[in-house]
Amino acid sequence: MIAQFAQPEATGASGVSLSVPTTRGDGLPSRLLKFHAPEIVFGLDSMAEAAHAALRLGGLRPLLVTDPGLIEAGWVDELVVHLRGQGVQAQVWSALTPNPKDHEITAGHEFYRSRGCDVLIALGGGSVIDAAKGIAILAANGGDILDYAGVDKATMPIPPLVVLPSTSGTGADVSQFCIVTDTTRNTKITILGRALVPDITVIDPRLLTTMPEWLNAATGLDALTHGIEAFVSLGHNQLTDHHALRSVVMVTENLVTTIERPQDMPARVLMAQAALEAGLAFTNAILGAAHAMSHQVGGLLDLPHGVINGVLLPHVVRFNAEADPAPFATIAACLGIADKRAPDLESALALADRLQDLARQVGVPRGLAELGVREDDVPVLARNAMADACLTTNPRAADEAQLRALFRAAL
């Protein structure tokens, strides 16, 4: 069952084109575009396809990375049965906490080596998938996971990777990102590389029905942030724009429904599709200041990434719209919250207000202070955010003083 959804119309923006890249005189794009994506299987009851995928990739003794919640929900047992049906004996590792830590990646790699594993399978949310990617990096490249912070630092090909996302928002199942907590510096590092795009992603919307309400809200807001930041990113192009816009509309229209009616499968399918399309958009267009800032708060306080995004995103939208409101006005028009004839800045600010209202509606605190961020934390958070890879594609250049002001506005 694959949802059908009308494509929102994308319009141009001042400064940076949002629907069509710079063209040559003959009307053809003047820059080379690349779009990284795994093989994708999407639909209800598609979990069995993960077993076929693992076998096809050469998996005889795969490492199945998951977490205790997925074990308790029964999804791990179901997948193990499918794997056994293909003659594959999985080794299950679940010694993970949310926001995977550097030492947990090391422990997972030691387990992978000790059990003689080959293919990796990740069944879970973004933390599980990022942990599997981190284990894969070490399996191929050795060393410490913190050595690979930055872009394309892992040079050796990683083992085959099959993922089954159990949340609707992180995008880790299709992305070239791996986010790991540096427990010494209390921050998150971003590992970015095309080799980290999974080989095969199996999206079974049934898995979303056992998410706790808070996780449903958090990952949905993460997908929303992915879509918006990808659409306005300096790295956007016409291959990413329609995915970004579609994801924003689908999250806005379906997230609350999935919280109020967790077993509403049509809404779950649309949220699964929204998360997928947001992931395809941001892994190719990259992100912006909201994620650069959120990574630092998450590393400091070990908090849910999507909740932090929900607090920060409206403030970042207002900041970026001061320089160029047009792309945000396009999003507002697609959501039906602004008249296309209204001034762009007015529409952009209406979008920021709508995002803030949605975050409140799903239970996000009013500010970072309610999450435990103190005024004294702001200078370190801003300094670390300046070094985050996501900041490089934010549509408005930001210095450390501006980031400090943004953090304070969000307190």
Q: Let me know whether 200 and 301 are in one domain.
A: no
Rounded Cα distance between 6 and 316, Å, is 28
Strands (E), 193-323: 200-203
Q: Per the domain annotation, does 25 fall within a domain?
A: no
Structural domain harbouring 201:
39-209
Residue 364: count of CB within 10 angstroms of its CB? 24
Q: Per the domain annotation, does 12 fall within a domain?
A: no
pLDDT tier, 340 (very low <50, low <70, confident <90, very high otherwise): confident
Rounded Cα distance between 11 and 344, Å, is 12
Nearest partner of 125 among 53, 205, 40, 211, judged by Cα: 211
User: What's the pLDDT score for residue 338?
Assistant: 83
Q: Let me know whether 163 and 252 are in one domain.
A: no
Q: Let me know whether 196 and 147 are in one domain.
A: yes
Q: Per the domain annotation, does 5 fall within a domain?
A: no
Q: Let me know whether 354 and 230 are in one domain.
A: yes
Q: Per the domain annotation, does 27 fall within a domain?
A: no
Q: Per the domain annotation, does 20 fall within a domain?
A: no
Instruction: Give this prediction's pTM.
Output: 0.90
Domain end point (choices 172, 188, 209): 209
Q: Decide: 199 and 39 in contact? Cβ < 8 Å.
A: yes
Domain end point (choices 209, 232, 261): 209
Residue 171: which CATH number? 3.40.50.1970
Q: Per the domain annotation, does 288 fall within a domain?
A: yes
Domain end point (choices 209, 239, 274): 209
Count how many domains the chain has: 2
- Whole-Å CA distances, 147 to 54, 58, 221, 244, 340: 29, 28, 30, 31, 48
Rounded Cα distance between 406 and 411, Å, is 9
Rounded Cα distance between 282 and 177, Å, is 10
User: What's the pLDDT score for residue 258?
Assistant: 96
Whether residue 22 has pLDDT greater than 80: no
Q: Per the domain annotation, does 8 fall within a domain?
A: no
Instruction: List the strands of the sheet with 187-192, edge to edge.
Output: 150-151, 187-192, 177-182
pLDDT tens track for 372-400: 999 999 999 999 999 999 999 999 999 99
Q: Let me know whether 202 and 226 are in one domain.
A: no
pLDDT tens track for 48-91: 999 999 999 999 999 999 999 999 999 999 999 999 999 999 99
* Structural tokens at position 53: 């995928």
Q: Let me know whether 98 and 61 are in one domain.
A: yes
Q: Let me know whether 194 and 232 are in one domain.
A: no
Q: Which residue has the higher pLDDT, 15 or 174?
A: 174
Q: Let me know whether 144 and 237 are in one domain.
A: no
